Structure formats: structure tokens, C-alpha cells
Amino acid sequence: MTAYVDSSALLKRYLIEPDSKLGQSLLDEDVDLVTSRITIVEVRRALGLLASAVERVLTRANFAHDLESISIVEVDALVCADAASIAEETGLRSLDSIHVASARRISDVDITFITFDVRQAAVARSLGLTVLGA
């Protein structure tokens, strides 16, 4: 199985938050993880804001290690065009629309979208994606 993971889900690996245990269990399953290039920026920003200096060094190293086994969807013209349509049609925020468009770009028909963003999850479901987390 292939799972698209957004930053809200991936952060469950590094920070203690509501639903961290659920997030960990979803990410620890035997799945091929895929995410958007923008996830790197979102996760690094969150780790920089929410973690202490010591935690920041450790979590950044763990995140860099994890990225080696996560496939990246580039934010190209096709992803941006789809994201713009999603944002226009649903009112979903820009970065969230990029995540949904990135997941739709993956050709695996068994793709699962993992997010803990309720609004993003609702839009992903409305567009036919299977959603876990939120």
C-alpha cells in the first residue's frame, strides 16, 4: 500500500501532540510513504517553533533520516494547476490544496491520504481519496 502523508501527520512522529499515538501507528504500518516537497518546509518550520533546542537537533536529524525512505512529489506545473482548481472550488487553503493535488498526482490506485487536518481531510474525501487520521 502507498500512503500520502502531509505535515500534520508526519509531525506525529516527532512531537507529542493530540493523536500522536494514532499517527505513529498509521506511519509505522508497512506502507510506502509519499509526500510533497512542501512538507519539508512545513515540518522544519514546526520543529523550529515547537521543539526545544535539544529536541530541534534530534528531531531534525530523525526527520532527515526518515526523508531518505519517503518518496517526494515535486510541486510542478501540473500539481499547481490542480491545487489552484481545488482551492478555487473548495476554499481549501493553498498549502493544503497542494497536498491534496500532490496525492492525486500519484498513480497508485490504492493511495491512502493520511492527515490530521479536518478540513483538508474533508476535501480529500470529497475528491475520492481514502483518508485516515482526521
**Do 41 and 76 touch, CB atoms closer than 8 A?**
no
Can you give the pLDDT at residue 112?
Answer: 93
Q: Does domain 2-133 bear CATH number 3.40.50.1010?
A: yes
**Do 91 and 75 touch, CB atoms closer than 8 A?**
no
Instruction: Identify the helix (H) or strand (E) that includes residue 88.
Output: helix 77-90
| CA nearest neighbour of 2 among 35, 36, 31, 39 | 31
Q: Where are the domains of the chain?
A: 2-133
| CA nearest neighbour of 99 among 20, 12, 82 | 82
Can you give the pLDDT at residue 54?
Answer: 85
Q: Which amino acid is at 19?
A: D
> Could you tell me the three cell numbers for 55?
529536541
Can you give the pLDDT at residue 15?
Answer: 79
How far apart (Å, rounded) are the C-alpha atoms in residues 102 and 65? 22
Q: What are phi and psi of 35, to 5 degrees?
A: -150, 170
Can you give the pLDDT at residue 29?
Answer: 67
Residues of the chain with pLDDT under 70: 20, 22-23, 29, 50-51
Give percent above pLDDT 90 in the chain.
65
